[in-house]
Amino acid sequence: ALVSINASLMDVNQSNMVASEKIIAGNEHLMDLNVGVNALLALMKKNSEFNEEMENKKTEQLKVIIDRQESYFHEQYKFKKKMKQIVEVLTNEN
């Protein structure tokens, strides 16, 4: 009976060792996956920061274009007004 109990305990011990090895292998695999997930998250964060930076630059460029366009229209208006005054002076002289 003692031999049978010892044999059963050895079987249980061996099963536990096999289960432990599988758990260790599973944990190592999960750790590898976690490294990949962390790398992916870091890339996604950098991509998001880059996109936000590009949107900000685009907004700044559009503001510069709009400001220059407004300045151009204002200068064009002043030029036309001067031309009108010149034409009036020339017309009055004749």
- pLDDT for residue 94 is more than 80: no
The mean pLDDT of 36-46, rounded to a whole number, is 97
pLDDT of residue 4: 86
The tokens describing 73, both together, are 């229209």
The structure tokens listed for 52 are 């936000």
pLDDT at 7: 84
Higher pLDDT, 1 or 45: 45
The mean pLDDT of 57-67, rounded to a whole number, is 98
Instruction: Give the residue-averaged pLDDT of 49-59.
Output: 98
Distance (Å, whole) CA 49 – CA 29: 30
Distances (CA, A) of 27 to 15, 18, 20, 32: 18, 14, 10, 9
